A and B are shown apart, each in its own frame.
Chain A
């Protein structure tokens, strides 16, 4: 069984801060990491590698520096890694990104495609699902458990307030939730030597897209503008009667929790 894991390098958003004056994100000095739920997907793949003798290929798209998460994947036990990188692809939205990834999957070959449920920078949760649609294969989102025998796949997933057990067949795609497993650490046996392994580069001379169909130009959606909610001001201390106090707190519930 050949498993492809699509992973993304993301800034560690827990460390991202907002410039209080410019209102922009400060990304300097913020660590880049493998997207957490993509790690859950990789863990699921590595478990299947152990139980089903599968091979695990990790593919990422990004700038050359995204190589780091591929080395990390190899040091966790992945068999091979591909980096999709081309300046033509910069600025791709989810539809175009998933189209490019789907093309890479066709080229590399697969029985099963695993991705994280969503990335912590964009939070769209769309790419994994769209890849499957481009490839015309079934997809199950938000998986918390996968079991495979032969070509039948049983996936447990949580959707809204219900748990579903879904069956499907290979080839298929599954997006993995953080509740699925605890990703393993890198291990030194795989780590030493991981930099001597070849990382295969897929650029547009390999994938051959029409320039106007990829990147920012080819993407249906465009970012009109970005802004921050404004700097977090000094805390406010309020002293008043009970009713006013309750009102103040209820406003916070509305603002922070969308409880109206």
Chain B
């Protein structure tokens, strides 16, 4: 793959890799066991420009591209699934829609501090009755003078308890169905907005996944993102980017498991030789490496297409679906190779297996991804 990368992208990857090894990996176990949100890591990433990688410098970004951002998510995912999704949700799901659909005032007010990492972002589409059927939004927004009044709730929101800025979807006109959905920029601290239940999860346990509750929440009119009724389009296009991020996270987790396996099979001896010398395990490992590399091609392909403005929803869906399936398979296999040790918390592979599972589910279950892929080709 490296032949596709510019020298600066290679140097950036070097940075991400070192940063992940030295700053993120040492915290990964604690993040998982104590459901610890790694604020200090977010702060450190902000300093390095990692919270605004693909946005122009004049808007507070680092002036890089989407592929570089995807490599950051991958390298973080390699050592800590939680940290990688914090970055992905912030960048793909919050900064990106403001960058693409926001007014210059909104970019000035919200994108700049987000991209500089002074603020953290989140995105809230899912509701108790609007999961895969995202169009079935129950949250409503009514214009009242200079404010929209939001009522309803969101669930499973990544960075929910830790973000400062949220992209919130709500119905402004129920009669129009999905064309009646609008998107809003909501700040933590807006009147009538609060964080509800905090989920206790199987994996990515340090990421803050919460319910968001809106009770007559007053959102200034100028915080409408795009125009009224444009929300669903914003959501879908945003998710295309987000899915590349989740694909990159899954890719990183798979690679992390392979790293651990390669180390282990050289050290661990049974029947008088390294277990890596057994053909049975070599065949598993060959498949794990091959499929992870294939996932990388799909994820990087989607990122490069996004950089060139030619990304389709199917490109992103394929990257996300394939990479997450590979991550699940590779991490499960890694636990198997580690045997009894793999099932204990002494090694990180069990955590990686738990972290991998969510990548098949969030930002559109893999079943939804298949609908997206087939839908684009069967017309």
Assess A/B contact in the complex (Cβ within 8 A). yes
By beta carbon, the residue of chain B nearest A76 is B15
- Give a binary string over B1-28; 1 marks a CB under 8 Å from any A CB, 0 the rest: 0000011100110110011000000000
B130 within 8 Å of A by Cβ?
Answer: no
Contact A189 B11 (CB under 8 A): no
- List residues of chain B with CB within 8 A of the CB of A185: 15, 18-19, 48
Determine which residue in A187, A189, A193 has the highest number of CB atoms from chain B within 10 A of its CB, and name it. Answer: A189
Contact A188 B7 (CB under 8 A): no
Shortest distance from the beta carbon of B204 to any chain A beta carbon, whole Å: 24
* Complex CA distance for A72 and B8, rounded to whole angstroms: 10
| Interface range on chain A (Cβ under 8 Å from partner) | 10 to 19
A186 within 8 Å of B by Cβ?
Answer: yes
A8 within 8 Å of B by Cβ?
Answer: no
B152 within 8 Å of A by Cβ?
Answer: no
Contact A192 B48 (CB under 8 A): no
- List residues of chain B with CB within 8 A of the CB of A75: 11, 15
By beta carbon, the residue of chain A nearest B47 is A187
Shortest distance from the beta carbon of B9 to any chain A beta carbon, whole Å: 10
Contact B15 A191 (CB under 8 A): yes
- List residues of chain A with CB within 8 A of the CB of B352: none
Contact A194 B8 (CB under 8 A): yes
- List residues of chain A with CB within 8 A of the CB of B372: none
Contact A195 B7 (CB under 8 A): yes
Contact A189 B57 (CB under 8 A): yes
By beta carbon, the residue of chain A nearest B48 is A187
- List residues of chain A with CB within 8 A of the CB of B14: 186
B62 within 8 Å of A by Cβ?
Answer: yes
Contact B49 A189 (CB under 8 A): yes
A117 within 8 Å of B by Cβ?
Answer: no
Q: List 26 A-B contacts (CB under 8 A).
A: A71-B11, A72-B11, A75-B15, A185-B15, A186-B14, A186-B15, A186-B48, A187-B47, A188-B12, A188-B15, A188-B48, A188-B49, A188-B53, A188-B64, A188-B68, A189-B49, A189-B62, A192-B8, A192-B12, A192-B63, A193-B8, A194-B8, A195-B6, A195-B7, A195-B8, A195-B11
